[in-house]
Amino acid sequence: MYPSWSSPLRGGRNLRRERIEEISAADFFYRNRAIAGFDNPVRATYTIVRELVENSLDAAEEAGVPPKIMITMDRVERRENGSDLMRISIRDNGIGLSADEIPRAFGKVFTSSKYRLIQSRGTFGLGGTMALLYGQITTNRPFTISSAKKGDYINRMTMMIDVQKNEPIVIKREVLGIAERSFTAVESYFEGSYARAKRKIIDYLYQTAIVVPYADIMFVDPDGVVFLFPRSTDEMPPRPKESLFHPKGVDLELLQRLIRASRANTVKGFLKTSFQRIGDKTADEVLAIAGIPADKKLRDLRKEEIEALYNALRSYDKFMAPDHTVLSPLGKKLLEEGIKKELRPDFVYAVQRPPSVYEGHPFIVETAIAYGGDIKPAGEIQLYRFANRIPLLYDTTADVSYQVAKGINWSNYGIRSLEEEPIALFFHIVSTKIPFKTVGKEYIAAVPEVEREVELGFRTCARELKLYLYRIRRKESLAKRAFLFRRFYEIVAECVEDITGERPSVETLLKMRFGDLYEGAGEGEDNSGGEEG
């Protein structure tokens, strides 16, 4: 028999008297930190480095200078549970923060400068703050932020986060001397395991050096080993420009928020000032579909009229494509530069696809293929994936780029096997809304529009690789033949010398046979692995 609702349950408490509790954003991620990548000391060690480095890269790029980032990690003590008490410090040459900005930027979850329609590495203002929050809840120690803009006083604050209120707690404020240059430095303690996270951390920094070739990154690990990733260029991609929302990229909730925030008097004025690329004609056609007069006061819109306007925006098919100036792709030159710097291949070719759209959001796909050099066969597909210049290291086989690579018949391009040849593939997507498949944001969903651009990009690069391999293999084949002919001509030359007393030049005979393109081919030892019939 089921208990009645008035039956005492769970220690005598009445179900109808259960307390409804409200928690802050910081408290939510404190209780569910696995969502943000802090589910265990190993993953947390990698995630902390990643989030703080990305904050520093964003700060430097916003300042318009090539990033210079110094990371130091120390092992303070060994803990009984097998993890370590770690200390991390990171310093950058970014835009710098004022005394008022420091507590809000680092002491409050979901406080960010990224809540705009513009490409950025992060979105929610969560990662860097969550890295510090994780350190606080695992060590009960405060963190320290030092920052300044060029020519201003240096402010150093020792802080903690009030988890229940999602508010910063400034324990100590210090004002130091005048800053000669803008910078931000962060120091935090946390529970981690560098020994087990080391491979991922170094791989992350290595891939960051590929996709940000204009950055200087130095990392001193707990063992005192220095990893240096110097920049190879001062050239930076252009900064993205902020833009209005595209009408195809809004949902009903966002539409209502835009209406509440708008200063327009009429509905037509609202459409023209709140969305990109809507003029008089387009606004009139949308309002005609919605059945709303163009001069209707915006504040007088009823709920059903807002729904009708939303449906009209969704059904109207004559909108111009979204503005792609909100994006900042790396570009063919910089992508190739980064690959050459770190992998030193014999061949590399990158392509930037034209802007495309999915769900009203513009995106650009960049692909590249590198071959030979320091790249060695790995027995698996060597695929480097990036989203808004962030390396993606987990769940590779679930990514759209991996699925596309597996579906291409590479033998058409002179590649016997991706797993058995010295070849590496690169995929980079930039967008105001990356189509991640999961909350963990480690792999891209197989959105048809993205899938198509990835395949076209890979095939374009593969055609260039095919031409390169044809020239290389043709030259190798001619070299092998030249070696065999050299042996034959030496015998002929000896016979002619015995008959005529004059020895013909073997080199002249080879030139007559193979042409000037392979002058001197076949000299040296035989590396052909055996004679050909």
- Distance, in Å, from the CA atom of 464 to the CA atom of 166, rounded to the nearest integer, reads 53
Structure tokens at 41: 């000391």
Q: Which of 359, 362, 405 has its CA nearest to residue 382?
A: 405
Is there a contact between 381 and 420 (Cβ–Cβ < 8 Å)?
A: no
Q: Where are the alpha helices (DSSP H) in 64-93?
A: none
Residue positions forming the annotated binding site for ATP:
55, 92, 113-114, 441
Written as six digits, the tokens of 489 are 């001509």
Find tokens 């001197």 and name the residue: 520
CA distance 434 to 432: 6
Q: Say how far apart CA 88 and CA 49 lie, in whole Å.
A: 8
Amino acid at 202: I
Those residues with Cβ within 8 angstroms of residue 17's Cβ, 6 or more apart along the chain or in another chain: none
CA distance 49 to 206: 13
Give the integer Cα–Cα distance in Å for 95 and 203.
27
Using an 8 Å Cβ cutoff, are 33 and 134 in contact? yes
Q: How many CB atoms lie within 10 A of CB 255?
A: 20
- Please list, in sequence order, all residues whose beta carbon lies within 8 angstroms of the beta carbon of residue 482, skipping any fewer than 6 positions away: 510, 513, 514, 518, 521, 522
Q: What is the DSSP letter of 359?
A: T
Name 415's Cβ contacts closer than 8 Å, sequence gap at least 6. Answer: 421, 423, 462, 465, 469
Which residue has 């991996």 as its token pair? 402
Q: Check if the beta carbon of residue 144 is closer than 8 Å to that of residue 176.
A: no
Q: Kindly list the distances between the CA atom of residue 31 and the CA atoms of 26, 84, 105, 453, 506, in Å, as whole numbers in the listed order.
A: 9, 22, 21, 39, 81
Q: Cα(294)–Cα(267) distance, rounded to whole angstroms?
A: 6
- Annotated binding-site members: 55, 92, 113-114, 441
Q: Cβ of 108: how many Cβ atoms within 10 Å?
A: 20
User: How far apart (Å, rounded) are the C-alpha atoms in residues 429 and 440?
Assistant: 17
Q: Are 184 and 147 in contact (CB under 8 A)?
A: yes
